[in-house]
Chain A
Amino acid sequence: MATTTRPRTSSFSRNPLAGPTSQVPGLKPGPNGSVFISSGIPDLDRILGGGFCLGSLVMVMEDPEAPHHMLLLRNFMAQGLVHNQPLLYASPAKDPKGFLGTLPNPISSKDEKPRDHAAEQDKGLRIAWQYKKYFGENQQGHDSRDAKHEYCNDFDLRKPLERQFLGGKNIICVSTIDLTLETFRERCRTFLAQNSRNNGVMACASRIAIQSFCAPQCGYFDKHSEASKKSSLVPQFVKFIQLLPLRYLGVDHLGLLLSFQDWDMLAFIKSLKGIVQSSNSVAIITLKQFQACEHFLLSICIALPLTSNEDKELAKLLTGYQEMVGLLSIHKVARINTQVPLVLEASTFSIKLHKRRSLVLECLNQAPIDGSTGASYGTSGSCSGSTKQGALDF
């Protein structure tokens, strides 16, 4: 990147990437010379202002009880395969290739049309007149999504991905069971180097998906797992997501050994970030636990907080709780080439399944709170685009 900007001395110059990338399927030019790649979930793309920026490292924290991170991973990978982008998938499973069979299939545009139409009518009926102005905004969002459905497909979670998409040569599956970090890093590096060499600089963006990065099965983290057991004793979500770094949890001197593992992992993430940034790709890593100290390395942090169906308190506070599959909260969106931060409309969203097949993210709709029962729930976001009415309607 440095070499491309060097010969231009004027500060007003046309972004050279804007032209070609708009034609490449799966890439979308963003502000400040950044290029977006779709996450595979249209709503997530919209929330992030266009998708994942090329060169970003996305960390997804797993919900300890539900495999929601797999939903994100599947859509991310399927979207890449639909666009015929090179993909490296690493997982602690013995046969990672099997995971490709579970990827969702895109919904064809014909199917999609009635869905949006139905949604429109639905809204028209339900929305109170005060909210009409917000409704207008939403509508625009839908339109732009329709226009760019080649950039980001809706996926049907019930249908497996068609075989034609799996035929590409550029799919590599790696099992992380017996891999050291060193060799793993080399695999990532050669994978990305190959693709950028074959396809030129901007022709194609590669995707890396790493599932359960520090899972106990992985050889390089056998000591790590002991620490995780310990750390589960610590009350989670004390403040935001600031979990204590694992190495300081050990009451005994397990910490000394652990610290090396930890720092190795950080070093791995650091070098992965460097590789990803220099080769126009996006890496997504799912992890059991964040450590606060990893935040600084990341471009985008997504956490799937603990959700259980029995949470009565939450059910009382939020409308539409029954339809929710889980929660998704975005902790950090780093921006490339600009210092202005992205202010999200809300940090926590609910994951819902539309017609039991496609993923939809919505702002949390907080039920009106009875004055006598106390304070509002801390994590719920604003409900600007409220489409559902609460229990106590006025």
Chain B
Amino acid sequence: MDRSSQLLDEALGIVDDTSSMVSSSFPSSSVVLIEDCVETSGAFVIHHILKRSLSPPSSAAVVLVSLSHPFSHYDRILRKLVHTFALSLSFVLFSQGCNLAAHRDNRRFFFCDMLMVDFPRQGQGNVSKGGLIELYAKIQKVVEDISSSFGSGKCITIILDDFSLIEVAANGSLNHSLDFLRYCYALTSEFGLGLLVHTSCGGVYPLPSIQGCSLVILHHEDIYSAEESAALILQMEYLADVVIKAEPLATGLAADVHGQLTVLNKGIHDQLRSSKSKVHNFHFKLRENGVECFYPGTQA
């Protein structure tokens, strides 16, 4: 039934290891960049990653920095998402929905509501990055709290939804938004670094609890004119290990195909998997309970 999201999982590098009875969650210390456009929203990838990170086989903690939606929005969506995972070939577990409020109480899900936060405006010429510094300090504190209370082996996923609003918060300053990105990146590698060792001595079985910190960023591709995008988008694409592009079909909107997804997986530095970069390309259809991915033309 759930062949659908398997394609997306594979492309993202999330592997269900059926032979070892342990399924690995999101790859550690990786940066995932999701680019979308006006016609096609890429937010569903965030929901998918959120669900995968919080659902049973994975024990990761998630820090969601939301600049565009209130908590209730994610809460409602995640409740409806169905997650299936296979423990063995014959035994398939279905988990119904994902309760963000409960995860928040269990301190596995941290929601930074930046919707109502006004970043301080300042006079021209001297743009301070006060708001961003505070935001970064907040994220850092949460990450440190998690790693101190759960031990350094805890996998942490930081999700930024969405980065274009960070840019607005930085008053359009390219340098400041890039700085912010760099700091977040440093955070992932700082907390991922000690963990690579763990992963490698995990032997044949990838242990889900020994993971790094990964960063998921949603950004909009078509908000810049051509010259400008060279700076920020390219920087982000360079940093990212996985670049996901959500685009509308060239033939226009359709009721049964909502768009196409191009996933460039640059190869996650994990010794258990092949590390060549791969491009996946498929269509998707969004449902209330998940996303259905299929290769063009294979949908009945």
A242 touches B77 (CB 8 A): no
- Do A337 and B77 form a contact, CB below 8 Å, given A248-B225, A331-B38? yes
List the B residue with the shortest CB-CB distance to A1.
B72
Q: Quick one: which of A182, A242, A293 contacts B121, CB cutoff 8 A?
A: A182
A332 touches B38 (CB 8 A): yes
A278 touches B115 (CB 8 A): yes
Q: Quick one: which of A262, A277, A338 contacts B70, CB cutoff 8 A?
A: A277
Q: Quick one: which of B77, B162, B168, B225 contacts A338, CB cutoff 8 A?
A: B77
Residues of B within 8 A of A1 (CB): 70-72
Q: Is A336 an interface residue (CB 8 A)?
A: yes
Residues of A within 8 A of B76 (CB): 5, 32-33, 337-338
CB distance from B45 to the nearest CB of A (A): 10
A278 touches B116 (CB 8 A): yes
Q: Is A99 an interface residue (CB 8 A)?
A: no
B113 touches A2 (CB 8 A): yes
CB distance from B43 to the nearest CB of A (A): 6
Residues of B within 8 A of A347 (CB): 253
Q: Is B258 an interface residue (CB 8 A)?
A: yes
Q: Is A237 an interface residue (CB 8 A)?
A: no
Q: Quick one: which of B47, B172, B228 contacts A339, CB cutoff 8 A?
A: B47
Q: Which has the most chain B C-beta neighbours within 10 Å: A262, A297, A337, A338?
A: A337
Q: Is A259 an interface residue (CB 8 A)?
A: yes
Q: Mark contacts of B284-300 with chain A using CB atoms, 8 A cut-off: 1 yes-contact digit, 0 otherwise.
A: 00111001000000000
Q: Is A295 an interface residue (CB 8 A)?
A: yes
Residues of A within 8 A of B266 (CB): none
What band does the interface of chain B fall in when counting residues whose beta carbon is under 8 Å from A?
35 or more
Q: Is A375 an interface residue (CB 8 A)?
A: no
List the B residue with the shortest CB-CB distance to A335.
B41
- Do A343 and B225 form a contact, CB below 8 Å, given A277-B115, A296-B162? no
Looking at A38-46, A102-110, A267-275, the stretch in contact with chain B turns out to be: A267-275
Looking at B94-102, B141-149, B186-194, the stretch in contact with chain A turns out to be: B94-102
- Do A263 and B115 form a contact, CB below 8 Å, given A248-B227, A341-B41? no
Q: Is A244 an interface residue (CB 8 A)?
A: yes
Q: Which of B163-201 contact A (CB under 8 A)?
A: 164-165, 168-169, 171-172
Q: Which of A91-107 contact B (CB under 8 A)?
A: none
User: Given the complex of chains A and B, what is the CA–CA distance between A327 and B115 in angstroms?
Assistant: 34
User: Given the complex of chains A and B, what is the CA–CA distance between A197 and B124 in angstroms?
Assistant: 36
User: Given the complex of chains A and B, what is the CA–CA distance between A388 and B263 in angstroms?
Assistant: 45
Q: Which of A1-24 contact B (CB under 8 A)?
A: 1-2, 4-6, 8-9, 11
Residues of A within 8 A of B280 (CB): none
Q: Quick one: which of A242, A259, A338 contacts B222, CB cutoff 8 A?
A: A242
- Do A5 and B72 form a contact, CB below 8 Å, given A264-B121, A278-B116? yes
Q: Which has the most chain B C-beta neighbours within 10 Å: A262, A295, A344?
A: A295
A293 touches B99 (CB 8 A): no
- Do A293 and B97 form a contact, CB below 8 Å, given A260-B171, A278-B116, A331-B38? no
Residues of B within 8 A of A306 (CB): none
Q: Which of A340-387 contact B (CB under 8 A)?
A: 340-341, 343-344, 347
Residues of B within 8 A of A25 (CB): none
Q: How many residues of A contact B (CB 8 A)?
A: 49
Q: Mark contacts of A225-266 with chain B using CB atoms, 8 A cut-off: 1 yes-contact digit, 0 otherwise.
A: 000000000000000101011001000000001011011101
Q: Is B73 an interface residue (CB 8 A)?
A: yes
Residues of A within 8 A of B287 (CB): 340
Q: Is B75 an interface residue (CB 8 A)?
A: yes
Residues of B within 8 A of A202 (CB): none
Q: Is B44 an interface residue (CB 8 A)?
A: yes
Q: Is A292 an interface residue (CB 8 A)?
A: yes
List the A residue with the shortest CB-CB distance to B168.
A266
User: Given the complex of chains A and B, what is the CA–CA distance between A248 and B224 in angstroms?
Assistant: 10
Q: Is B269 an interface residue (CB 8 A)?
A: no
User: Given the complex of chains A and B, what is the CA–CA distance between A297 and B228 in angstroms?
Assistant: 19
B121 touches A341 (CB 8 A): no
Residues of A within 8 A of B205 (CB): none
List the A residue with the shortest CB-CB distance to B253.
A343
Q: Is B93 an interface residue (CB 8 A)?
A: no
Q: Which has the most chain B C-beta neighbours within 10 Å: A240, A301, A341?
A: A341
Q: Which has the most chain B C-beta neighbours within 10 Å: A4, A240, A338?
A: A338
Residues of B within 8 A of A8 (CB): 101
List the B residue with the shortest CB-CB distance to A4.
B72
List the B residue with the shortest CB-CB distance to A242.
B222
Binding site for A on B (CB under 8 A): 38-41, 43-44, 47, 68-73, 75-77, 79-80, 96-97, 99, 101-102, 113, 115-119, 121, 124, 162, 164-165, 168-169, 171-172, 220, 222-225, 227-228, 253-255, 258, 286-288, 291
Give 27 A-B contacts (CB < 8 Å), ordered by A residue. Answer: A4-B72, A5-B76, A9-B99, A11-B80, A245-B225, A245-B228, A259-B172, A260-B124, A262-B172, A264-B171, A267-B171, A274-B116, A274-B117, A275-B116, A292-B38, A293-B164, A293-B223, A295-B220, A296-B68, A296-B164, A297-B165, A331-B38, A334-B41, A337-B73, A339-B43, A343-B258, A344-B253
10 further contact pairs, Cβ within 8 A, besides A1-B70, A266-B172, A339-B288: A9-B102, A248-B227, A259-B172, A263-B168, A267-B121, A295-B220, A295-B223, A296-B162, A338-B76, A339-B47
Q: Which 7 A-B pairs have the closest CB atoms?
A: A263-B172, A293-B223, A1-B72, A2-B71, A337-B76, A244-B225, A11-B79
Binding site for B on A (CB under 8 A): 1-2, 4-6, 8-9, 11, 32-33, 182, 240, 242, 244-245, 248, 257, 259-260, 262-264, 266-267, 270-271, 273-275, 277-278, 292-293, 295-297, 301, 331-332, 334, 336-341, 343-344, 347
